[in-house]
Structure 1
Amino acid sequence: MKLYHGTTCTNGESILKEKSININCIGEYDKDSYNEETKTTKGFIYLSTEPYLAYYYAQKHSVFSNETKCYVFQVEVDEKDLFVDSDEARLIAKISPEEIKKMSVSESLSRYNYNTVRTNKKLKINADVKAFALAPVLHQIKDEHDHDSIRNCMFKDPTELSQSDKRAFNKIIRFTNL
């Protein structure tokens, strides 16, 4: 299944250098500036079916880290290696722990849970990681139309995006095959 992982420029450079996305790295939500309730579960890589959402998280964490660029990685992961993103369900969708336990991976991939899943499998470049995009964070995009289009891509339902918004996103966030 084609999925996307977004991260800071610093973390993206490490991924390229180490030739893998590791499950035991320090995530952005693990830093001291976040309280215990907002920290994510250790031992997972968080993924989305939407490059827009991966970019949203990548640029958000990059801004918090005072970085002007971010990475989005395109990966291929077998569905059997995917798990419900219980952190996203709990923190963003406000789903109760009891309901999360009943959720399936397909429900986690639905709009109901923002198209997110996670894996506990190390993702290797060329085997699992297929492409990457190094992109500016939103406030670095000076062209007003592009800026607004990228913002739409991050905050609108992907099924409601205009072709113009998608073109602007693909112009700014350009994937390079590995």
Structure 2
Amino acid sequence: MTRTITFFALLIVAFVLSNCKSGDSVTPNQNAAQLLARKWDFGELVIQTDAKAYSVIQPASVENQLTFLTNGTYTYVDNSVAKSGKWVLSNGDKTLTTTDAKGAQNTRQITALTTTACEFRSTTVDVTKSDDPLSPKYTPEEQSVYYTGLLILFSLDKQNGGTLDLSKEPKPKTIQLVVKGKAI
């Protein structure tokens, strides 16, 4: 019996060792704060509706870049002026809240975060709640998502010089902003 246990133990060790490559490295798991603390280029914005996703690729620019620091601050460029804000993780490191230099807060759900890529989603706004986006039925954050999403969609319309014919697209019932970033 002892030989059988020893044989199986050696077999398992041999199997594990045979599947390791010499270039493999083992690193401890990083938490979200460690993964976030770097310079990011947010060059892709997706307007997600209940029916379809519309991707907008931004040209490379320092205005698309944010640098998250380990001390809970971040830096960015706004109208060619370097600025800083604060960030905090919550909800088990699944929610990122940023406060910019003007004090405006944005809350995003972290849907992907690695050392090389990230994806953040805004709240989903029900655009059928009211015909008036300034209605008290919408929070300031929902108003921001509502206006930003619809403004970008309208800028993509052929009537406004874009490549999309919105008259042939389904009318959105919900809208959400998805920001995708790459580490630089």
TM-score clears 0.5: no
Q: Provide the TM-score with structure 1 as the length reference.
A: 0.25
Greater relative contact order, per chain length (Cα 8 Å cut-off, separation 6+): 1
Q: Provide the TM-score with structure 2 as the length reference.
A: 0.24
Structure with more helix by fraction? 1
Structure with more strand by fraction? 2
